[in-house]
Amino acid sequence: MASQPALISETDAWKDLKGHVEEIRMTHLRDLMADADRCRSMMVEFDGLLLDYSRQQGNTETIHKLFNLAEAAKLKEKINRMFNGDHINSTEDRSVLHVALRAPKDAVRNSDGKNMVPEVWKVLNKIKEFSDKVRSGSWVGATGKPLKDVIAVGIGGSFLGPLFVHTALQTDPEAIECAKGRQLRFLANVDPIDVARNITGLNPETTLVVVVSKTFTTAETMLNARTLREWITAALGADAVSKHMVAVSTNLTLVEKFGIDPNNAFAFWDWVGGRYSVCSAVGVLPLSLQYGFSVVEKFLKGASSIDQHFYSTPFEKNIPVLLGLLSVWNVSFLGYPARAILPYSQALEKFAPHIQQVSMESNGKGVSIDGLPLPFETGEIDFGEPGTNGQHSFYQLIHQGRVIPCDFIGVVKSQQPIYLKGEVVSNHDELMSNFFAQPDALAYGKAPEELRKENVAENLIPHKTFSGNRPSLSLLLPALNAYNVGQLLAIYEHRVAVQGFVWGINSFDQWGVELGKSLATRVRKQLNASRTEGAAIDGFNFSTTTLLQRYLEASSDDNQA
């Protein structure tokens, strides 16, 4: 029996796709788009969503070959192992079970032989009860006043996902109604300016601080938490912590050590990766405090709907699988290193920053899951801005400079429709005109002959020519309520997992963030020794020593505790 190749790039399916690239490169998207049958086969609908990937550089044969690659990568088996709670995060010896966070009450999702769904619902019920109390005013602060404002302190996965969902819901009519009179703010950066911005205009008497940290050791979060604890106790006394500070963590021992009552702690589990934690108490608690649990439950249901779809739909119609395979095609075969995430919705302005972490922390790896160096690049550089703002910023490069596959995300029904008398179209139609136009501009481009017909001056023709043949995909959501936001989140989470499964990497660890953290610890020690004992800078290279010297000399006045 032939032995199994150690790397996906050694499989016949990979080599077959490599061989197919030239053929695709010779075919312009303009021609591919002329084949209506091809385009029809590249549209998928599910639960109100429509994915159109006909503007990807590929034909039905490409898709067929990508399915062969999925088979060679044992994609279905890996998806099943994730849902079954196997320890697929092998370097941390953990299950990867964020799908359990939004599973229906009667579902079974085991980790280490234990069904975690009842545990999940225990925490969700506790959040519901607590957030109802805070919102109704039956939970009051140290001076007897209701707590109407919340600061969520956390960074990375303990921040970006909740901020994205909060930003998306902020303008949804139902969510607005539920959030009346309340504020939710996020303190992430250890920069003291972020503290100042967060507490400006807030009264400690009416503020609840939620400290969100999976490990409860993250330097930035813990310093920010201590800073807000000081803000509260200076105003209200030491006992106020029990009424004004709660925590979300997997490390309940450290929560208690910090001084937060364990009864006011909301647990999650080591099988939830930080960047996959928005559906745990990490997101559900702050969002429920702001919008009420019932709104957030809809968000969980939207994510769960995609989980079912991802788990059980054949690959031909499986949105996250198709998206993941196409991303692998773009990165590993067509050689495009970046991906632009372009929601035509201002409410999704924090979506790209969240997906940056989900995707780049997951798939920016240099070795296979078995530790073998990879002879190909994984992950892509994700960035994005809402359209139309991006159009007036970096689209020039996308149209005439580098080729960057684009995700266009549009919403059928605006959250906040406006139609001015006398205008040709409503404001949302204006926005969406751009959503429909941009993918075709990228795909078709504009040839010199067309410009000549328009009598463009000959010297300007090279400047005004658009080569086209630039891939994109379009995802149309019916609306942007809590349910749809949940769908969108889960689509991207699973897409990233599919990419990692195919590349054969571990998408669920993040060792790459450790080195910088440990070097910062050395610098912190040096700063302390220099400031308190006048110790000379020792053990750093010439460059860092010079920079540190300049910093220490010029900032001594600001550093009295």
Q: How far is the CB of 111 from ligand F6P (least distance, A)?
A: 19
The C-alpha atoms of residue 249 and residue 226 are separated, in whole angstroms, by 16
Q: How far is the CB of 501 from ligand F6P (least distance, A)?
A: 20
Q: Which of 249, 168, 119, 10 is nearest to 492 (CA)?
A: 168
The one among 221, 264, 359, 487 contacting ligand F6P by CB under 6 A: 221
Q: How far is the CB of 361 from ligand F6P (least distance, A)?
A: 6
Instruction: Decide whether 217 or 467 has the Cβ nearer to ligand F6P.
Output: 217
Q: How does DSSP classify residue 334? A: S
Instruction: Decide whether 52 or 361 has the Cβ nearer to ligand F6P.
Output: 361
Structure tokens at 198: 């967060």
Contacts of 86 (CB under 8 A, 6+ apart): 95
The one among 155, 163, 360, 505 contacting ligand F6P by CB under 6 A: 155
* Window of 208-216, 263-271, 298-306, 376-384 that interacts with ligand F6P by CB under 6 A: 208-216
* Window of 117-125, 214-222, 299-307, 496-504 that interacts with ligand F6P by CB under 6 A: 214-222
Site for ligand F6P in 372-431 (CB under 6 A): none
CB half-sphere exposure, 436, CA atoms < 13 A: 8
Contacts of 418 (CB under 8 A, 6+ apart): 426, 427, 428
Instruction: Decide whether 213 or 305 has the Cβ nearer to ligand F6P.
Output: 213
300: helix, strand or coil: helix
Residue 22 backbone dihedrals phi, psi, to 5 degrees: -55, -45
Q: How far is the CB of 329 from ligand F6P (least distance, A)?
A: 28
* Window of 79-87, 209-217, 387-395, 485-493 that interacts with ligand F6P by CB under 6 A: 209-217
Q: Look up 74 and say whether it is catalytic.
A: no
**From the candidates 18, 122, 517, 525, which is the catalytic residue?**
517
User: Parallel, antiparallel, or unpaired: how do β-strands 265-267 and 245-249 relate?
Assistant: parallel
Residue type, 38: R
The one among 102, 214, 229, 309 contacting ligand F6P by CB under 6 A: 214
The one among 9, 41, 115, 215 contacting ligand F6P by CB under 6 A: 215
Q: Does residue 283 touch ligand F6P according to CB under 6 A? A: no
Q: How far is the CB of 228 from ligand F6P (least distance, A)?
A: 15
Q: Look up 20 and say whether it is catalytic.
A: no
Structure tokens at 224: 């920010």
DSSP-assigned beta bridge partners for residue 208:
150
3-state helix, strand, coil in the chain (%, to 5): 55, 10, 35
* Window of 211-219, 300-308, 413-421, 497-505 that interacts with ligand F6P by CB under 6 A: 211-219
Site for ligand F6P in 47-106 (CB under 6 A): none
Instruction: Decide whether 67 or 351 has the Cβ nearer to ligand F6P.
Output: 351
6: helix, strand or coil: coil
The C-alpha atoms of residue 551 and residue 487 are separated, in whole angstroms, by 47
Instruction: Decide whether 213 or 469 has the Cβ nearer to ligand F6P.
Output: 213
Q: Are 336 and 522 in contact (CB under 8 A)?
A: no
* Window of 82-90, 210-218, 312-320, 404-412 that interacts with ligand F6P by CB under 6 A: 210-218
The one among 218, 288, 415, 507 contacting ligand F6P by CB under 6 A: 218
Burial class (CB in 10 A: 0-12, 13-18, 19+), 225: buried
* Window of 51-59, 152-160, 194-202, 286-294 that interacts with ligand F6P by CB under 6 A: 152-160
Q: How far is the CB of 245 from ligand F6P (least distance, A)?
A: 16
Structure tokens at 390: 């991006």
Instruction: Decide whether 156 or 504 has the Cβ nearer to ligand F6P.
Output: 156
* Window of 149-157, 255-263, 434-442, 543-551 that interacts with ligand F6P by CB under 6 A: 149-157
56: helix, strand or coil: coil
Q: How far is the CB of 155 from ligand F6P (least distance, A)?
A: 5
Per-residue HEC secondary structure of 159-181 comes to: CHHHHHHHHHHCCCHHHHHHCCC
Instruction: Decide whether 386 or 500 has the Cβ nearer to ligand F6P.
Output: 500
Whether the CA torsion 517, 522, 526, 528 is positive or negative: it is positive
Q: Are 428 and 414 in contact (CB under 8 A)?
A: yes
* Window of 79-87, 215-223, 395-403, 464-472 that interacts with ligand F6P by CB under 6 A: 215-223
Q: Does residue 157 touch ligand F6P according to CB under 6 A? A: yes
Q: How far is the CB of 133 from ligand F6P (least distance, A)?
A: 25
Residue type, 500: G
Mark 353-372 with x for binding to ligand F6P (rule: CB under 6 A) and - for no binding: --------x-----------
Mark 257-276 with x for binding to ligand F6P (rule: CB under 6 A) and - for no binding: -----------------xx-
Site for ligand F6P in 499-518 (CB under 6 A): 510, 513
Residue the block writes with tokens 């968000």: 299
Q: How does DSSP classify residue 342? A: E
Q: Look up 65 and say whether it is catalytic.
A: no
**From the candidates 392, 413, 463, 525, which is the catalytic residue?**
392
User: What DSSP letter does each residue of 348-408 carry, written as one string?
Assistant: GTTHHHHHHIIIIIHH--SB-TTSPBPSS--S-EEE---TTGGGGTTHHHHHHSS---EEE
Q: How far is the CB of 218 from ligand F6P (least distance, A)?
A: 3
Task: Give the angle 448-451-452 at the CA atoms, nearest 5°.
Answer: 90
Contacts of 536 (CB under 8 A, 6+ apart): 530
Q: Are 487 and 306 in contact (CB under 8 A)?
A: yes
The C-alpha atoms of residue 277 and residue 99 are separated, in whole angstroms, by 10
**From the candidates 205, 220, 297, 361, which is the catalytic residue?**
361
Instruction: Decide whether 273 or 468 has the Cβ nearer to ligand F6P.
Output: 273
230 to each of 148, 170, 258, how far by Cα in Å? 20, 30, 12
Instruction: Decide whether 89 or 391 has the Cβ nearer to ligand F6P.
Output: 89
Q: How far is the CB of 68 from ligand F6P (least distance, A)?
A: 33
Active site residues: 361, 392, 517
What does the binding site for ligand F6P look like in residue numbers (CB under 6 A)?
155-158, 213-215, 218, 221, 274-275, 361, 510, 513
